[in-house]
Structure 1
Amino acid sequence: MTNHVLAAITERAEEIAALGVTGEALGRLDDQAAKALRDAGVIRMLQPAAYGGSESHPREFAETVMGVAALDGSTGWVAGIVGVHPWEMAFADPRVQEEVWGEDRDTWIASPYAPMGVARPVDGGYVLNGRWQFSSGTDHCDWIFLGGLLGDAEGRPVQPPVSLHLILPRADYEIVPDSWDVVGLRGTGSKDVVVSGAFVPDYRVIPFSKVIDGSAPREAGLTSPTYHVPFSCAFPLGITAAVVGIAEGALAHHLAYQRGRVQITGTKVRDDPYVLYAISEAAGEIAASRCALLDNVSRMYDAVAAGREVSFAERAAGRRVQVQAAWRAVRAVDEIMARSGGNAMRADNPVQRFWRDAHMGLAHAIHVPGAVFHAAALTDLGVEPPPGPLRSMI
């Protein structure tokens, strides 16, 4: 089946690649880059068909994110992050879906999901306060998902902690200017957001427990297998796909740069067996990362399409595959970067931007291997489920 969205992106490849430089200078996605994503329908790939979405196979979504990220890391990152939010909005109360998409089906939703705020219960909903970092693409979004902890009457988190996903319109939160000054993915504009005493009605709140255990899409009556892929597979998918796509972009720019390069020794790169070995090894590792990530989501999709529940052991193994795919791809980028020479570090050489973007993407919390690998190994040894903290995001 032809991926029409990716085909539309490919038609504008030169434009998107060129706008990456502008986005880095702006510290956010250039308006034209955002328009290219809107025009192609990237952010609507996981959106419900009732609101103009294509309810795409998540594999197609990941392939599209990779394709965008290979052109520009920041544009691909925004595609991967913002593109997942319609997937969860499909679980939300129909009233908030209508508020978000009723007048404009291209309305974008930001995040983050990290529970950095406290939601105090009041009649009809909650009062939310907090400050969140890393709201990617936020300048182009009119709504936001925010993670929060359920509070008591005094606004202190209850124990044990209870996590909520709260949905707010742009008028209810502040984007903090100049809060995104980093070494990579500068064009994502992943700024801080602040909420001060905003009222969030009950119907705009989704208990995170229902998202992670898969009951939210069932209760919403969703039938497409796309919405029954586990959250711990779907949410990291766009992020890791962006990192793999960035690695593919780094390799492409490295090859273009190396084709005519003569090293200081007078040896052409094409005549240096050591560099050629590193290039091939890196290409193989990046290709393996792509295959592993796509195979993982395809297997999850096939399982839920067959009506089977994905076990904790399968989810843990899937998270291990996803994390390892990101690390493998970025290590490969390091190997070719180390053989690109000093001129690769010049600001006008796109290789260094892709290298910086890859490392920034790897720093996302979803790529921390420790607890994920620990939990996956324990399940392999028959300890299932492992202790509480190790079950987080699995």
Structure 2
Amino acid sequence: MALATEKGRLTLGDVVAEPAGAARDAAFQHALEVLRERRDEFNAQGYVPRDFISLLKKAGIFRVAIPEQFGGEPLPPAQFMKKVEQISAVDPATGWVASFGSAPVYFASLPVETQRELYSRSKDIAFAAGMFPMFEAEKVEGGYICSGEWQFASGCKGADLLGIGLKGGPETNGKPLTGLVDRSQVEIIENWDVSGMKATGSHNVRATKVFIPEELTFIRGGEPKIDEPLTRYPVLPYAAQVLAVVALGAARGALDYITEVGAANTSVTGGPAKGNRPAYKTGLAKAEADLRSAQGFFYGTTEEVWAKAVAGEEITDKDKAMLRLAATQAAHVGRDVVLAAYNVVGTGAMFSTHPIQRYVRDGLIPAQHAMLQEFTFEAAGAVMLNLDPGIPSFP
């Protein structure tokens, strides 16, 4: 079976991660250094370019969720998310794009032969998806003919492989599908006109009568065909977590700034260094405490559920709801901490060129995501009380 498309085989990148260990760690640190130099460039142009995606590939970011069965080197969720948090502390929008290194957990529900061939060709695949709205596909022999325009395809300009959301039919029991397409098969509609997370380049993607072989479709969050610890870890809660951790990174970046730089600044009116002011010291301390508390809940819950996945124990709906709750809490506390940092910086923070603006613009966005909005608190509480959460695909 070949991974064929209407225009030929799927084309994947040829950049390979550095060997695990010191070389890969050095590649990760190098990527962070380059990001500090280029983050303003990425924001100005509105996307993370392919040459920087290549640096993330060398650092192993896009091979963290490929099954060992196919030669992958899967990372426990907490280890991967701490890397995303580090990237986000430098530039949250780039962290958002890097978070999709976890996307191959979805691919575990592809046919086994499809996975084997996909990963035989590359284990460093940058993936982006526009899932909504879901369009009706025409079922034909061997696959689907797809047309439509999908929103929020974060990282699409730097991706090797794209996913699009399709309405399911009788063959999927009505559950929605994701179709995998080569980036050459779709048109990127550059309409990402936003103030926050601009560098994610979350443009629309458009397909016109694109044929997708059935073996390149899967139910998002469907039953995995591979049994390994990472494929046992709840896929939809993980999808929420990798976005929420970006807010924790943004909060860390904001607090690092007000600790290391902002505290030494003096007022234009001639007052003392801001770090000597009671409101500055108190605001910093409370924000640090809030951030560390959210991190503790977030990573502690992750490790508890991961231990169950490793042991092959049942992961209950309440376990999944707790992951979702910890993710939502992280996103909202991250936002609050960023705003607390903005507050203590003072008047200068209002200028668009102020360093804290990067964290304000981007750090507010994760809590706006559908998987992390306020109503997910209520849904988690409902599951804790053995009630219907009232929203689809929860927990």
Matched residue, 1:64: 83
Gap change, CA 1:5 and 1:236, over 3 Å in 2? farther
Matched residue, 2:348: 343
1:377 to 381, 385, 389: 381
Mapped contact 1:45–1:61 kept (Cα < 8 A): yes
> Are residues 1:124 and 2:137 paired?
no
> Are residues 1:193 and 2:211 paired?
no
> Are residues 1:162 and 2:175 paired?
yes
TM-score, scaled to structure 1: 0.87
Unaligned 5+ segments in structure 2 are 1-19
> Are residues 1:46 and 2:46 paired?
no
TM-score, scaled to structure 2: 0.87
In 2, distance between residues paired with 1:51 and 1:252?
Answer: 40
Gap change, CA 1:336 and 1:42, over 3 Å in 2? same
In 2, distance between residues paired with 1:4 and 1:310?
Answer: 36
TM superposition shift of 1:272: 0.8
What are the equivalent positions in structure 2 for 1:1-394 lying under 5 Å apart? 8-49=27-68, 53-80=72-99, 82-97=100-115, 100-150=118-168, 161-176=174-189, 178-208=190-220, 211=221, 216-217=223-224, 220-222=225-227, 224-263=228-267, 264=269, 266-370=271-375, 372-383=376-387, 386=388, 389-394=390-395
Matched residue, 2:12: none
1:60 is paired with a residue of what secondary structure? helix
In 1, distance between residues paired with 2:286 and 2:46?
Answer: 34
In 2, distance between residues paired with 1:160 and 1:243?
Answer: 36
In 1, distance between residues paired with 2:80 and 2:179?
Answer: 25
Mapped contact 1:79–1:238 kept (Cα < 8 A): no
1:276 is paired with a residue of what secondary structure? helix
Q: Which moved more, 1:18-27 or 1:82-91?
A: 82-91
TM superposition shift of 1:192: 0.6
Gap change, CA 1:361 and 1:250, over 3 Å in 2? same
In 2, distance between residues paired with 1:244 and 1:199?
Answer: 40
TM superposition shift of 1:229: 0.4
Mapped contact 1:115–1:163 kept (Cα < 8 A): no
Unaligned 5+ segments in structure 1 are 153-157
In 2, distance between residues paired with 1:318 and 1:103?
Answer: 33
Q: Name the count of aligned residue pairs.
A: 375
In 2, distance between residues paired with 1:169 and 1:204?
Answer: 11
The amino acid across from 1:168 in the alignment is V
Root mean square deviation, CA, Å: 2.5
Gap change, CA 1:146 and 1:118, over 3 Å in 2? same
In 2, distance between residues paired with 1:308 and 1:133?
Answer: 37
TM superposition shift of 1:292: 1.9
Percent identity for Structure 1 against Structure 2: 25
